Amino acid sequence: MSDEKLVGTGRHAVVIVASTRAARGTYPDRSGPVLVGRLKEWGFEVAGPIVVPDGDELGRALGGALDSEPDVLLTSGGTGLTPTDRTPEMTAPFIDLPVPGIAEALRAAGLAKGVPTAMLSRGLTGLAGATFVANLPGSRGAAVDALEVLEQVLPHILAQIPGSDHESM
């Protein structure tokens, strides 16, 4: 973020990783630390990623995280086509105001970089109360690509949530 004041200054973010294998310790989570690191660079207060198995436990983690009323909640993983990829289904009940254009831009960014599987991501984006929520794919590369897209619009998103005048953006 190039602004004098970092977009996350005075704001709270949460990162939840949906990965049954990472939650079991089968392999390390690689996307969560990337997301947490960048959010911190942007000035957000954010703890390490919360890593949970796919499915109902993810739904409980989302509800608990939203109870803390973060400004931003990013999820990683569970957006594909496997039988356990249910992050969008777990997220949808919490979304009050869908913002599909951001999810479309995230997929388009991957496609533009020559990653044809980016179109398979079913991730959702929107507002859950006053929290911006984005489901991101679980790979480290997809996390980096998503952050590049979000960096361009996150200041505007966070300014609009409380009702700022978008003419001043």
Measured CA distances, 58 to 23, 89, 97, 98 (Å)? 11, 10, 20, 19
Structural contact between residues 74 and 136, judged by C-beta atoms closer than 8 angstroms:
yes
pLDDT computed for residue 4 by the predictor: 59
Q: Show the low-confidence residues of the chain (pLDDT under 70).
A: 1-4, 165-169
User: What are the extents of the domains in the chain?
Assistant: 13-158
* Spatial distance between the Cα atoms of 72 and 39, rounded to a whole number of angstroms: 9
Write down the pTM of the prediction. Answer: 0.94
pLDDT computed for residue 165 by the predictor: 64
For 13-158, CATH gives 3.40.980.10
pLDDT computed for residue 168 by the predictor: 46
